[in-house]
């Protein structure tokens, strides 16, 4: 039996079989899976109005369209699965069991401080840092590496607690969004002089959704009018019932500014950890964990703070985190001191990476440098393909015929630290200029602007935003020049937002509104075989103007629309304008359906200023 014809191409039809494709796959990849000639798929897709070459990365929507046409169910592999499969190909299972009971050792809890703005998160993190200066570290914590560890005496035992040193919810949610759960316990700060506020509830929701126990720090009890009991009362509505009210949440009254009861708060963290969590990990395996912060250090190159979650990290380890890899050259703690071993829950600043990882990128130690490099390179290739698929301008037959209705500003964001890139992205996505203009962030990352960024931008006519970063080299700058890619540099987020907003407004197609010019009544119709019918009119209102837009109204009904005053005469003379109260001859060009008694209305389209 002959294969049926699909879109003019002879192709065997599927029976709804599933075809799994990675992000950034091409028609050639699809063709290989279903054993057909890629050229045929190009042709079928062309028939569907999309022009794509066989090796171009194609987006999910296009694959689905093609799949429907050919009788296959397209399943795009999720980024998480893709990465899992990648690691499997290196015989690595990131989430493998850590070993039996004997292999596990207690590890410190990792704490994130959240709460409403101005309720004292930053002050509290400061106070905790000061409270716990280890004797020998008289200078205190000098380096902000994104996390720090304090040591607390509890039941006659010295115990450590790790604090993520970024107040606010962004870090917490950004990491969760990437599937990285770093936080064991949330300290929810609520100012006793203010009470439960929107971000208090937001923080609480994030923590509860992640199943993370909460310790409430009722802050600013030194302020007059502070009412800690009211906070306890308010929070019962959100299922946070204080222990003294018969619930299981610990509330501690503190004052971060004068440093009051900080020790009690730390104790509550340990008590909660012991009661609610089984915090153990295997320290005797190659280290794994999460990058919580990264930046480009002028002297030291890319540096990243990683939190070890299992195993022990040591200098010399071959590490890969996201698309960045390297051999750990040195590890530093929050005192700027070298660290020889980082065990579970220990945050350290790692030197020796090739690039800056993103907040939330998981890291692992590979068997050797080569493996680490290969994993990073494969990830980079996967990301590039996925970005290309997303960025590929959909050249459709339709868009050839009609101009697209939506204008899109494509942006690539590069910044010096992951936090600022995320903040900038968040703020940019909040710019609202209506439905006609889209802002599309096709790629983001930390570090210098690379040739890869420029290539991406040139494919989709994007603009590159460099936030405190510059092109990697002269070559990259030249490439941008050659490709006509604009790079804009900023060091202040607000400046970037303002300019982008202005650019978006500039991209808005002008909105036009109709402005009435005048009305004329047809008193007589002159027929001319040469130039068609001419309307002998009396201008009853406003003016008639040559080349103005016009419509013809008969008995109150528009019978001709989109017409033009092709010629306008007074007596025998061609004129440009005739005012009301005067007679004139009007030709509407090829439109000849005019009758005595009809009205000709003229109007102009004027650009409406944008608000
Ligand atoms: P964040 O926005 O939650 O990080 O809040 P901050 O830590 O920046 O604190 C906001 C303001 O409250 C600052 O002016 C602090 O000095 C002040 N503040 C924080 N904690 C206390 C406190 O315990 N007592 C008093 N009186 N003021 C505090």
Indicate whether 436 and 524 sit together in one domain. no
Mean pLDDT of 471-477: 81
Quick one: pLDDT at residue 255? 96
Indicate whether 205 and 268 sit together in one domain. yes
Instruction: Single out the residue in 488, 507, 526 at which a domain terminates.
Output: 507
End-to-end CA distance of the chain: 65
Is position 392 within any domain? no
Of the pLDDT bands very low, low, confident and very high (cuts 50, 70, 90), residue 235 is very high
Write the CATH number for 489: 3.40.50.10050
Hey, is 507 helix, strand or coil?
Answer: helix
User: Looking at 464-473, 478-487, 512-521, 602-611, which range is the least confident one?
Assistant: 602-611
Is position 101 within any domain? no
Ligand 1 close to Cβ of residue 193 (< 6 A): no
Q: Kindly give, in sequence order, each residue whose CB lies less than 8 Å from that of residue 294, ignoring residues fewer than 6 positions away.
A: 302, 303, 304, 305, 356, 357, 358, 359, 417, 418, 446
Quick one: pLDDT at residue 610? 54
Phi then psi for residue 174, to 5 deg, are: -60, -40
Nearest Cα residue to 455 out of 467, 447, 464:
464
- How close is the Cα of 243 to the center of ligand 1, in Å? 26
Write the CATH number for 197: 3.40.50.300
Q: Report how many domains make up the chain.
A: 5
Indicate whether 141 and 271 sit together in one domain. yes
Ligand 1 close to Cβ of residue 119 (< 6 A): yes
Q: Tell me the C-alpha to C-alpha distance, in Å, between residue 154 and each of 248, 270, 438.
A: 20, 8, 55
Of the pLDDT bands very low, low, confident and very high (cuts 50, 70, 90), residue 175 is confident
Of the pLDDT bands very low, low, confident and very high (cuts 50, 70, 90), residue 507 is low
Is position 393 within any domain? no
Q: Mutate which of 116, 118, 198, 258 to test ligand 1's pocket (most atoms within 8 Å of Cβ)?
A: 118
Is position 233 within any domain? yes
Is position 412 within any domain? yes
Instruction: Single out the residue in 38, 58, 77 at which a domain terminates.
Output: 77
State pTM to two decimals.
0.65
pLDDT averaged over every residue in the chain: 85
Of the pLDDT bands very low, low, confident and very high (cuts 50, 70, 90), residue 539 is very high
Is position 326 within any domain? yes
Give the start-end residues of each E strand in 273-358.
280-281, 288-297, 301-310, 318-321, 324-332, 347-353
- Residue with the smallest CA separation from ligand 1 atom 9 is 120
Of the pLDDT bands very low, low, confident and very high (cuts 50, 70, 90), residue 400 is very low
Of the pLDDT bands very low, low, confident and very high (cuts 50, 70, 90), residue 503 is confident
Indicate whether 161 and 274 sit together in one domain. yes
Indicate whether 309 and 418 sit together in one domain. no
- How close is the Cα of 36 to the center of ligand 1, in Å? 66
- How close is the Cα of 126 to the center of ligand 1, in Å? 10
- Residue with the smallest CA separation from ligand 1 atom 17 is 120
Indicate whether 413 and 561 sit together in one domain. no
Q: What is the tens place of the pLDDT at every residue in 219-233?
A: 999 999 899 999 999
Mean pLDDT of 345-360: 91
User: Looking at 287-296, 351-360, 363-372, 459-468, which range is the least confident one?
Assistant: 459-468
Quick one: pLDDT at residue 472? 80
Q: What is the tens place of the pLDDT at every residue in 112-170?
A: 999 998 999 999 999 998 876 554 455 566 667 889 999 998 888 999 999 998 766 66
pLDDT beyond 50 at 592: yes
Is position 86 within any domain? no
Instruction: Single out the residue in 252, 278, 304 at which a domain terminates.
Output: 278
Is position 489 within any domain? yes
- Residue with the smallest CA separation from ligand 1 atom 2 is 118
Quick one: pLDDT at residue 510? 59
pLDDT beyond 50 at 411: yes
Indicate whether 178 and 235 sit together in one domain. yes
Q: Mutate which of 122, 123, 194 to test ligand 1's pocket (most atoms within 8 Å of Cβ)?
A: 123
Quick one: pLDDT at residue 401? 36
- How close is the Cα of 123 to the center of ligand 1, in Å? 6
Handedness of CA 358, 363, 369, 371 (dihedral sign): negative
Higher pLDDT, 139 or 13: 13
Quick one: pLDDT at residue 398? 41
Indicate whether 540 and 502 sit together in one domain. no
Indicate whether 217 and 127 sit together in one domain. yes
Indicate whether 72 and 179 sit together in one domain. no
Indicate whether 503 and 371 sit together in one domain. no
Q: At what angle do helices 38-47 and 27-34 cross, to 10 degrees?
A: 120
Residue 176: give the domain boundaries. Answer: 108-278
- CA 260 to ligand 1: nearest atom: 23
* DSSP labels, 409-472: EEEEEEESBHHHHHHHHHHHHT----SSEEEEEEEEEESSB-HHHHHHHHHTT-EEEEES--BS
Of the pLDDT bands very low, low, confident and very high (cuts 50, 70, 90), residue 479 is confident
Indicate whether 128 and 213 sit together in one domain. yes
Write the CATH number for 323: 2.40.30.10
- How close is the Cα of 230 to the center of ligand 1, in Å? 19
């Amino acid at each position: 039996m002959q294969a049926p014809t699909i879109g003019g191409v002879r192709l065997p039809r599927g029976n709804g079989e599933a075809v799994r494709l990675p992000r950034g796959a091409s028609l050639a990849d699809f063709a290989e899976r279903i054993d057909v000639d890629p050229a045929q798929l190009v042709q079928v897709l062309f028939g569907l109005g999309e022009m794509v070459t066989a090796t171009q990365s194609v987006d999910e929507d296009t694959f689905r369209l093609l799949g429907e046409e050919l009788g296959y169910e397209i399943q795009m592999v999720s980024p998480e699965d893709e990465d899992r499969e990648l690691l499997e190909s290196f015989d690595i299972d990131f989430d493998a069991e850590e070993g039996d009971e004997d292999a596990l050792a207690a590890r410190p809890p990792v704490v994130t401080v959240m709460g409403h703005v101005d309720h004292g998160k930053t002050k509290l993190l400061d106070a905790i840092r000061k409270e716990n200066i280890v004797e020998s570290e008289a200078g205190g914590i000098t380096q902000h590496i994104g996390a720090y560890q304090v040591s607390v005496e509890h039941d006659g035992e010295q115990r450590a607690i790790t604090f993520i040193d970024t107040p606010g919810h962004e870090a917490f949610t950004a990491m969760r969004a990437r599937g990285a759960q770093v936080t064991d316990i949330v300290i929810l700060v609520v100012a006793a002089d203010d009470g439960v506020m929107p971000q208090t509830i937001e923080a609480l929701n994030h923590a509860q959704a992640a199943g993370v126990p909460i310790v409430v720090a009722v802050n600013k009890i030194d302020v007059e009018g502070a009412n800690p009991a009211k906070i306890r009362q308010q929070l019962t509505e959100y299922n946070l019932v204080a222990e003294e009210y018969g619930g299981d949440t610990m509330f501690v009254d503190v004052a971060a500014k004068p440093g009051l009861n900080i020790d009690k708060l730390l104790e509550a963290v340990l008590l909660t950890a012991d009661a609610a969590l089984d915090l153990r990990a295997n320290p005797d395996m190659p280290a794994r964990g999460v990058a919580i912060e990264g930046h480009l250090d002028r002297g030291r190159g890319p540096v990243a703070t990683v939190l070890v979650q299992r195993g022990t990290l040591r200098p010399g380890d071959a590490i890969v985190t996201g698309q960045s890899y390297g051999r750990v050259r040195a590890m530093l703690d929050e005192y700027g001191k070298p660290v020889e071993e980082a065990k579970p829950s220990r945050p350290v600043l790692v030197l020796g990476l090739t690039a800056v990882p993103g907040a939330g990128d998981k890291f692992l130690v590979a068997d050797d440098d080569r493996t680490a490099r290969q994993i990073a390179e494969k990830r980079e290739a996967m990301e590039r393909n996925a970005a290309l698929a997303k960025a590929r301008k959909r050249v459709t037959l339709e868009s050839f015929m009609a101009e697209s209705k939506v204008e899109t500003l494509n942006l690539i964001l590069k910044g010096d630290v992951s936090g600022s890139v995320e903040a900038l992205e968040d703020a940019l996505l909040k710019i609202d200029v209506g439905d006609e203009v889209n802002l599309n962030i096709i790629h983001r990352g930390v570090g210098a602007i690379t040739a890869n960024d420029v290539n991406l931008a040139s494919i989709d006519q994007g603009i590159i935003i460099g936030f405190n970063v510059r092109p990697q080299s002269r070559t990259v700058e030249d490439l941008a020049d050659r490709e006509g890619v604009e790079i804009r540099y900023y060091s202040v987020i607000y400046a970037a937002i303002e300019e982008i907003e202005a650019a978006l407004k500039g991209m808005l197609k002008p909105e036009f509104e109709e402005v009435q010019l005048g009305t004329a009544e047809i008193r007589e119709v002159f027929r001319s075989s040469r130039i068609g019918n001419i309307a002998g009119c009396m201008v009853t209102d406003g003016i008639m103007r040559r080349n103005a837009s016009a419509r013809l109204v008969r008995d109150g009904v528009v019978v001709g629309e989109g017409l033009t005053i092709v010629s306008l005469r007074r007596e025998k003379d061609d004129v440009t304008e005739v005012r009301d109260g005067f007679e004139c001859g009007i030709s509407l060009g090829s439109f000849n359906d005019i009758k005595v008694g009809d009205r000709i209305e003229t109007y102009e389209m004027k650009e409406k200023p944008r608000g």
